[in-house]
Amino acid sequence: MSSYDHRTHAANAGDVWKHFLLMEVADYCLHNCDGLSYAESHVGRPDYALSIPGEWETGLGRCWQHLPDLQKFLFFRILADLNRQGLRLYPGSARLVLEASRIQGQRLSADLWDIDPGVASSWDEAPVASFQEVRFHRGDGFSGVFELLDVSFGGLLLVDPPHLDPASALLAERLLGRAEERGWVALLWEMMGERTSPECNFEAYELEFKGAGLSCGRWAGAVVSLAGADGALRQRLRRRIEMFLKIMRPTGTF
Ligand SMILES: C[S@@+](CC[C@H](N)C(=O)[O-])C[C@H]1O[C@@H](n2cnc3c(N)ncnc32)[C@H](O)[C@@H]1O
Protein backbone atom coordinates (compact mmCIF):
# COMPACT_ATOMS: atom_id res chain seq x y z
CA MET A 1 0.00 0.00 0.00
CA SER A 2 1.24 3.54 -0.75
CA SER A 3 2.11 5.74 2.23
CA TYR A 4 1.77 8.85 0.11
CA ASP A 5 -1.30 11.01 0.75
CA HIS A 6 -1.86 13.86 -1.68
CA ARG A 7 -4.32 15.65 0.64
CA THR A 8 -1.55 17.59 2.39
CA HIS A 9 -0.04 18.72 -0.93
CA ALA A 10 -3.17 19.57 -2.93
CA ALA A 11 -3.08 22.93 -4.76
CA ASN A 12 0.57 23.55 -3.90
CA ALA A 13 2.82 25.28 -6.44
CA GLY A 14 3.65 21.93 -8.10
CA ASP A 15 -0.04 21.11 -8.54
CA VAL A 16 -0.68 24.55 -10.03
CA TRP A 17 1.97 24.01 -12.72
CA LYS A 18 0.92 20.39 -13.42
CA HIS A 19 -2.78 21.20 -13.64
CA PHE A 20 -2.34 24.45 -15.58
CA LEU A 21 -0.49 22.51 -18.31
CA LEU A 22 -2.81 19.48 -18.12
CA MET A 23 -5.81 21.75 -18.66
CA GLU A 24 -4.19 23.58 -21.56
CA VAL A 25 -3.43 20.24 -23.23
CA ALA A 26 -6.91 18.83 -22.42
CA ASP A 27 -8.54 21.98 -23.82
CA TYR A 28 -6.61 21.53 -27.09
CA CYS A 29 -7.35 17.78 -27.31
CA LEU A 30 -11.06 18.24 -26.55
CA HIS A 31 -11.33 20.88 -29.28
CA ASN A 32 -9.61 18.65 -31.82
CA CYS A 33 -11.42 15.34 -31.38
CA ASP A 34 -14.88 13.81 -31.21
CA GLY A 35 -14.82 12.25 -27.75
CA LEU A 36 -11.64 11.82 -25.71
CA SER A 37 -10.06 8.83 -23.99
CA TYR A 38 -8.33 9.88 -20.80
CA ALA A 39 -6.05 7.75 -18.61
CA GLU A 40 -4.18 8.36 -15.36
CA SER A 41 -1.74 5.93 -13.80
CA HIS A 42 -1.69 7.59 -10.32
CA VAL A 43 -4.93 9.50 -10.04
CA GLY A 44 -5.46 10.51 -6.39
CA ARG A 45 -8.88 11.74 -5.23
CA PRO A 46 -11.53 13.58 -7.26
CA ASP A 47 -11.21 16.62 -4.97
CA TYR A 48 -9.55 18.03 -1.88
CA ALA A 49 -10.72 20.32 0.93
CA LEU A 50 -8.40 23.30 1.46
CA SER A 51 -7.78 24.35 5.06
CA ILE A 52 -5.32 26.65 6.83
CA PRO A 53 -2.41 26.07 7.22
CA GLY A 54 -1.70 24.27 3.97
CA GLU A 55 0.81 24.03 1.12
CA TRP A 56 -1.87 25.53 -1.13
CA GLU A 57 -1.37 28.95 0.51
CA THR A 58 1.93 29.51 -1.37
CA GLY A 59 0.60 27.78 -4.50
CA LEU A 60 -2.97 28.37 -5.63
CA GLY A 61 -3.44 30.87 -2.78
CA ARG A 62 -0.90 33.20 -4.42
CA CYS A 63 -2.66 32.90 -7.80
CA TRP A 64 -6.03 33.89 -6.37
CA GLN A 65 -5.20 37.63 -6.28
CA HIS A 66 -4.74 37.46 -10.09
CA LEU A 67 -7.95 35.52 -10.67
CA PRO A 68 -9.70 38.08 -12.93
CA ASP A 69 -6.77 37.95 -15.40
CA LEU A 70 -6.15 34.23 -14.95
CA GLN A 71 -9.67 33.35 -16.01
CA LYS A 72 -8.56 33.43 -19.64
CA PHE A 73 -7.26 29.92 -18.83
CA LEU A 74 -9.65 26.98 -18.53
CA PHE A 75 -7.92 25.76 -15.33
CA PHE A 76 -8.69 28.96 -13.45
CA ARG A 77 -12.23 29.25 -14.90
CA ILE A 78 -13.02 25.81 -13.47
CA LEU A 79 -11.49 26.73 -10.10
CA ALA A 80 -13.43 30.01 -9.95
CA ASP A 81 -16.65 28.18 -10.80
CA LEU A 82 -16.16 25.59 -8.04
CA ASN A 83 -15.22 28.25 -5.46
CA ARG A 84 -17.77 31.04 -5.81
CA GLN A 85 -18.03 31.46 -2.02
CA GLY A 86 -14.24 31.58 -1.44
CA LEU A 87 -11.37 29.19 -2.03
CA ARG A 88 -12.25 25.91 -0.27
CA LEU A 89 -12.24 23.07 -2.79
CA TYR A 90 -9.50 21.88 -5.10
CA PRO A 91 -10.33 19.41 -7.87
CA GLY A 92 -7.70 16.74 -8.54
CA SER A 93 -6.33 16.13 -12.03
CA ALA A 94 -9.03 13.72 -13.24
CA ARG A 95 -11.89 15.83 -11.87
CA LEU A 96 -10.40 18.81 -13.76
CA VAL A 97 -10.44 16.84 -17.01
CA LEU A 98 -14.03 15.71 -16.31
CA GLU A 99 -15.03 19.36 -15.76
CA ALA A 100 -13.27 20.39 -18.98
CA SER A 101 -15.15 17.78 -21.02
CA ARG A 102 -18.45 18.79 -19.37
CA ILE A 103 -17.86 22.46 -20.24
CA GLN A 104 -17.07 21.54 -23.85
CA GLY A 105 -19.93 19.01 -24.07
CA GLN A 106 -17.46 16.35 -25.25
CA ARG A 107 -17.77 12.64 -24.47
CA LEU A 108 -15.04 11.45 -22.12
CA SER A 109 -14.02 7.89 -21.43
CA ALA A 110 -11.64 7.70 -18.47
CA ASP A 111 -9.52 4.87 -17.01
CA LEU A 112 -8.00 5.79 -13.66
CA TRP A 113 -5.62 3.84 -11.41
CA ASP A 114 -4.61 4.22 -7.77
CA ILE A 115 -3.50 1.65 -5.20
CA ASP A 116 -4.86 3.41 -2.10
CA PRO A 117 -8.17 2.00 -0.73
CA GLY A 118 -9.18 5.44 0.67
CA VAL A 119 -8.68 6.96 -2.78
CA ALA A 120 -10.72 4.11 -4.28
CA SER A 121 -13.72 4.87 -2.00
CA SER A 122 -13.49 8.60 -2.74
CA TRP A 123 -14.26 7.81 -6.40
CA ASP A 124 -17.61 6.17 -5.46
CA GLU A 125 -19.11 9.66 -5.05
CA ALA A 126 -17.37 11.39 -7.96
CA PRO A 127 -19.46 13.81 -10.04
CA VAL A 128 -19.76 12.09 -13.43
CA ALA A 129 -22.08 13.41 -16.18
CA SER A 130 -24.29 11.10 -18.27
CA PHE A 131 -22.02 11.44 -21.34
CA GLN A 132 -18.90 10.52 -19.36
CA GLU A 133 -17.64 7.03 -18.54
CA VAL A 134 -15.26 6.64 -15.62
CA ARG A 135 -13.60 3.35 -14.71
CA PHE A 136 -11.58 3.41 -11.50
CA HIS A 137 -9.10 0.52 -11.16
CA ARG A 138 -7.54 -0.22 -7.80
CA GLY A 139 -4.04 -1.45 -8.56
CA ASP A 140 -0.68 -0.55 -10.00
CA GLY A 141 -1.06 2.24 -12.54
CA PHE A 142 2.10 1.51 -14.53
CA SER A 143 1.05 -2.02 -15.47
CA GLY A 144 -2.60 -0.95 -15.88
CA VAL A 145 -1.77 1.79 -18.39
CA PHE A 146 0.71 -0.42 -20.30
CA GLU A 147 -2.13 -2.95 -20.77
CA LEU A 148 -4.59 -0.23 -21.79
CA LEU A 149 -2.17 1.11 -24.42
CA ASP A 150 -1.96 -2.36 -25.99
CA VAL A 151 -5.67 -2.32 -26.79
CA SER A 152 -6.47 1.35 -27.45
CA PHE A 153 -5.28 4.04 -29.81
CA GLY A 154 -5.17 7.79 -29.13
CA GLY A 155 -6.06 9.80 -26.04
CA LEU A 156 -4.63 11.87 -23.22
CA LEU A 157 -2.50 10.35 -20.43
CA LEU A 158 -1.17 11.80 -17.17
CA VAL A 159 1.59 9.94 -15.34
CA ASP A 160 1.96 11.35 -11.83
CA PRO A 161 3.69 8.90 -9.47
CA PRO A 162 4.31 10.10 -5.90
CA HIS A 163 8.09 9.68 -6.11
CA LEU A 164 10.40 9.35 -9.07
CA ASP A 165 12.86 6.79 -7.68
CA PRO A 166 15.06 5.28 -10.42
CA ALA A 167 12.67 2.35 -11.04
CA SER A 168 9.54 4.51 -11.41
CA ALA A 169 11.40 7.14 -13.47
CA LEU A 170 12.38 4.43 -15.95
CA LEU A 171 8.84 3.00 -16.05
CA ALA A 172 7.36 6.49 -16.47
CA GLU A 173 9.63 7.27 -19.41
CA ARG A 174 8.86 3.91 -21.05
CA LEU A 175 5.18 4.60 -20.57
CA LEU A 176 5.46 8.00 -22.25
CA GLY A 177 7.35 6.44 -25.17
CA ARG A 178 4.77 3.67 -25.56
CA ALA A 179 1.91 6.21 -25.32
CA GLU A 180 3.47 8.31 -28.08
CA GLU A 181 3.81 5.23 -30.33
CA ARG A 182 0.12 4.47 -29.73
CA GLY A 183 -1.03 7.97 -30.75
CA TRP A 184 -1.54 9.36 -27.24
CA VAL A 185 -0.50 12.75 -25.87
CA ALA A 186 1.16 12.07 -22.51
CA LEU A 187 2.39 14.20 -19.63
CA LEU A 188 4.76 13.26 -16.81
CA TRP A 189 5.03 15.48 -13.74
CA GLU A 190 7.96 15.78 -11.35
CA MET A 191 9.50 18.25 -8.93
CA MET A 192 12.62 19.97 -10.27
CA GLY A 193 15.75 18.12 -9.12
CA GLU A 194 13.84 14.97 -8.16
CA ARG A 195 14.97 13.03 -11.21
CA THR A 196 17.46 10.27 -10.39
CA SER A 197 17.42 8.40 -13.72
CA PRO A 198 19.20 9.46 -16.93
CA GLU A 199 17.76 12.57 -18.55
CA CYS A 200 14.32 12.21 -20.05
CA ASN A 201 14.23 12.67 -23.85
CA PHE A 202 10.86 14.36 -24.04
CA GLU A 203 10.20 18.08 -24.32
CA ALA A 204 10.12 19.52 -20.80
CA TYR A 205 8.21 22.54 -19.49
CA GLU A 206 9.83 23.91 -16.34
CA LEU A 207 8.55 26.43 -13.86
CA GLU A 208 10.85 28.00 -11.32
CA PHE A 209 8.36 28.80 -8.57
CA LYS A 210 10.07 31.99 -7.40
CA GLY A 211 9.85 33.51 -10.88
CA ALA A 212 6.07 33.13 -10.76
CA GLY A 213 5.73 34.43 -7.19
CA LEU A 214 5.09 30.91 -5.80
CA SER A 215 6.95 28.64 -3.38
CA CYS A 216 6.83 25.04 -2.17
CA GLY A 217 9.06 24.12 0.76
CA ARG A 218 12.49 22.86 -0.33
CA TRP A 219 11.47 22.54 -3.98
CA ALA A 220 12.69 25.22 -6.40
CA GLY A 221 10.33 24.29 -9.20
CA ALA A 222 8.49 21.62 -11.17
CA VAL A 223 8.83 20.02 -14.58
CA VAL A 224 6.23 18.54 -16.91
CA SER A 225 7.51 16.35 -19.76
CA LEU A 226 5.29 16.08 -22.81
CA ALA A 227 5.18 13.28 -25.39
CA GLY A 228 3.09 12.88 -28.53
CA ALA A 229 2.15 16.56 -28.95
CA ASP A 230 1.98 18.00 -32.47
CA GLY A 231 3.73 21.24 -33.45
CA ALA A 232 0.55 23.31 -33.10
CA LEU A 233 0.01 22.17 -29.51
CA ARG A 234 3.63 22.81 -28.53
CA GLN A 235 3.55 26.29 -30.06
CA ARG A 236 0.26 27.08 -28.33
CA LEU A 237 1.62 25.89 -24.98
CA ARG A 238 4.64 28.17 -25.24
CA ARG A 239 2.39 31.16 -25.97
CA ARG A 240 0.01 30.35 -23.13
CA ILE A 241 2.86 29.83 -20.62
CA GLU A 242 4.23 33.25 -21.51
CA MET A 243 0.78 34.79 -20.91
CA PHE A 244 0.50 32.97 -17.57
CA LEU A 245 3.90 34.18 -16.39
CA LYS A 246 3.17 37.77 -17.41
CA ILE A 247 0.07 37.72 -15.22
CA MET A 248 1.79 36.10 -12.26
CA ARG A 249 4.77 38.46 -12.41
CA PRO A 250 3.62 41.56 -14.31
CA THR A 251 6.75 43.65 -13.62
CA GLY A 252 9.39 40.98 -13.02
CA THR A 253 11.68 38.99 -15.28
CA PHE A 254 11.60 35.24 -15.73
C1 LIG B 1 0.79 12.67 -6.65
S2 LIG B 1 -0.61 11.72 -6.17
C3 LIG B 1 -1.73 11.92 -7.49
C4 LIG B 1 -2.23 13.32 -7.67
C5 LIG B 1 -3.18 13.48 -8.83
N6 LIG B 1 -2.62 12.93 -10.06
C7 LIG B 1 -3.49 14.94 -9.06
O8 LIG B 1 -2.71 15.60 -9.77
O9 LIG B 1 -4.51 15.43 -8.55
C10 LIG B 1 -0.01 10.10 -6.40
C11 LIG B 1 -1.02 8.99 -6.17
O12 LIG B 1 -0.39 7.76 -6.57
C13 LIG B 1 -0.93 6.72 -5.79
N14 LIG B 1 -0.03 5.55 -5.99
C15 LIG B 1 1.12 5.23 -5.35
N16 LIG B 1 1.67 4.12 -5.91
C17 LIG B 1 0.84 3.75 -6.93
C18 LIG B 1 0.88 2.71 -7.89
N19 LIG B 1 1.88 1.82 -7.94
N20 LIG B 1 -0.11 2.66 -8.81
C21 LIG B 1 -1.14 3.54 -8.78
N22 LIG B 1 -1.23 4.54 -7.88
C23 LIG B 1 -0.26 4.65 -6.98
C24 LIG B 1 -1.03 7.31 -4.40
O25 LIG B 1 -1.98 6.59 -3.63
C26 LIG B 1 -1.46 8.76 -4.72
O27 LIG B 1 -2.85 8.90 -4.62
- Cβ of 45 closer than 6 Å to ligand 1, yes or no, is no
- Cβ of 160 closer than 6 Å to ligand 1, yes or no, is yes
User: CA-to-CA distance for 218 and 237, rounded, in angstroms?
Assistant: 27
Domain boundaries, the chain: 6-248
Q: How far is the CA of 43 from the centre of ligand 1 (A)?
A: 5
- Cβ of 201 closer than 6 Å to ligand 1, yes or no, is no
Per-residue pLDDT of the chain (254 residues; tens, 9 = 90+): 458 999 999 999 999 999 999 999 999 999 988 999 999 999 999 999 999 999 999 999 999 999 999 999 999 999 999 999 999 999 999 999 999 999 999 999 999 999 999 999 999 999 999 999 999 999 999 999 999 999 999 999 999 999 878 889 899 999 999 999 999 999 999 999 876 545 668 999 999 999 999 999 999 999 999 999 999 999 999 999 999 999 998 654 44
Residues 6+ away with beta carbon under 8 Å from 252: 211, 213
Q: How far is the CA of 42 from the centre of ligand 1 (A)?
A: 3
Q: What residue owns the CA closest to ligand 1's atom 9?
A: 92
CB 7 within 8 A of CB 48: yes
- Cβ of 182 closer than 6 Å to ligand 1, yes or no, is no
| CATH class in words for 6-248 | alpha beta
- Cβ of 116 closer than 6 Å to ligand 1, yes or no, is yes
Burial state string for 108-143 with b = 16 or more CB within 10 A and e = fewer than 16: bbbbbbbbbeebbebbeebebeeebebebbeeebbe
| Nearest of 73, 78, 76, 39 to residue 185 by alpha carbon | 39
Q: What residue owns the CA closest to ligand 1's atom 12?
A: 42
